[in-house]
Amino acid sequence: MSTKIKFDRHSIKFRLWMYFIGIGVGILLLVWFLQIFFLNNYYEHMKTTEVNRVASSIYHAYARGDAGLTEAIQDLSISNDFYVMMESGGKVLLFMPEAESLVPVYQYKDQIPKLRGMLQEAPAKTTAVSFKINTGLEKYNTLAYATYLSRTKNQEVFLYIFSPLYPVTSTVEILKDQLFYVTIITLCVTFLLAVYFADRISKPLKGITQTARKMGKGNYNVRFEANSYSEINNLAKTLNVTAYELGQAGNRQKDLVANVSHDLKTPLTMIRSYAEMIRDLSGDNPQKRNAHLAVIIDESDRMSRLVSDMATITAMQTKKMKLHKTPTDLSSTAASILASYEILQEREGYDFIFNAPKEAFVYADEDKIKQVIANLTGNAVKYCGEDKVILVTIRKIGKVFRLEVSDHGPGIKPEELPHVWDRYYKTSTNYVRETTGTGLGLSIVKEILTLHGANYGVESKVGKGSTFWFELDVLRKEREKTPKEKKS
């Protein structure tokens, strides 16, 4: 059974093949054009440039009156395969090379009047003229060049240079044969390199794609291999971090569902049970009915707080909650929160110690900071020691005000400290006071302080207590006090 090989024209592998082959073909076409079609024109251009250079050299030597001018011209004509003539008033002053080489140069003597005429009729700014002579011999031409060596009213000295332009046909044929083999070798090497690099680059990407498919199906324990190019390695590292974070998010989601289900199950069970008791037993007994209704109301409040806290965290984490910052006195804000705990001080013997400056102004959302202080204080009440002492302290440290909530409770183990800010995380410490918290208090504290850009943390020693703290920048005064105000 035959299988058809399918090529994805949009794949990196196919595109790399095309790029390599395209580059190879482009280079070959350029070489063919330069060596075959452009060679003759390039050869003539180089000859013209060389003639101009030699003529300039002779002109400057003649102007200086060099004693060895004749020998210099002879050397230049022989080394460059030129025929050089100096003429004035129809008389030949110099003719190089001499002897047996005189015969070939006189075949151009009919062109000298034409060159002289072109030079004399040329515009004043034109110092040299040239043209090609078709000799009809062996299909090669000759470059004829003329310029002035001296030009006065009484005398004009002309310089003529004749440079044979030999045919390059045989050279082109040799180059064609060589380029044919060069083309075959280059195309083969290019194809092999294209296959090698395309496979080398696409192979790790294919591996990443297959691993990503597994991750897309919910397997977050996959590992993306990073042993290739830097860009692919960075992609693999990023995907590994993504897989880890997705795995953590999945675990947190499972924990959240489990904890929320557990927290909702208890109050719902209580509400149903006490509602049935009212229906079946205490409906006609006002005292029992009111007690059962109070339980139903308490459990409903507990469910409401849970839903409210979850909504608060969701709004913060999705960046939908905006802060309304205003100048806020941290001292008065903390004092108002502690005032709500006076009933615990009166009825259950709790001792709230508050140390703070008269004013501690910061720029913050007052309602959110109240929630932070309330949650930290409630947490301290829950875990405080047998002395039932909670200390709330505000002090200025450099450019920040630091608020600390401390207790003398059992403390937190060092390995548990990093997790106390997680939702529904429960330490191994036993509660001192029975509470109906939602398990989201410290997580809400973390999110609010993060939105404020505040530093926060916890310090704890087992058996001695814990201190939760956060820092907010001191509010800058809108204006400095004048010297009169300072004196007063």
**What is d(CA 250, CA 176) in angstroms, rounded to the nearest whole number?**
68
State how beta strands 140-151 and 455-461 pair.
unpaired
Per-residue confidence band for 432, with pLDDT thresholds at 50, 70 and 90: very low
Residue 163, SS3? strand
User: Which among 366, 379, 377 has a CA at the least distance from the CA of 338?
Assistant: 377
Please give the mean pLDDT across all residues of the chain: 77
pLDDT in tens, 62-87: 888 888 888 888 888 878 778 888 88
- Statement: residue 18 has pLDDT above 70: yes
The pLDDT of residue 262: 59
Average pLDDT over residues 379-384: 86
The pLDDT of residue 1: 45
The token pair at 373 is: 């202080």
- Statement: residue 135 has pLDDT above 70: no
Q: What percent of the chain has pLDDT over 90?
A: 12
Cis preceding linkage at 97, omega within 30: yes
Side-chain-side CA neighbours of residue 233 (13 Å):
5
Residue 314, SS3? helix
pLDDT in tens, 325-364: 999 999 999 998 888 888 788 778 889 999 999 999 999 9
pTM above 0.85, yes or no: no
Per-residue confidence band for 485, with pLDDT thresholds at 50, 70 and 90: very low
The set of residues, in sequence order, having a beta carbon less than 8 Å from that of 237 and lying 6+ positions away, is 224, 226
The pLDDT of residue 22: 79
Residue 143, SS3? strand
Burial grade of 44 (CB within 10 A; 0-12, 13-18, 19 or more): middle
Average pLDDT over residues 375-382: 87
Burial grade of 111 (CB within 10 A; 0-12, 13-18, 19 or more): middle
Cβ-contact 392, 338 below 8 angstroms: yes
What is the DSSP code string of 24-86?
Answer: HHHHHHHHHIIIIISHHHHHHHHHHHHHHHHHHHHHHHHHHT-TTHHHHHHHHHHHHT-EEEE
Burial grade of 377 (CB within 10 A; 0-12, 13-18, 19 or more): buried
pLDDT in tens, 167-197: 666 566 666 777 777 778 877 877 787 777 7
The token pair at 257 is: 């569902």
Average pLDDT over residues 394-414: 91
Burial grade of 7 (CB within 10 A; 0-12, 13-18, 19 or more): exposed
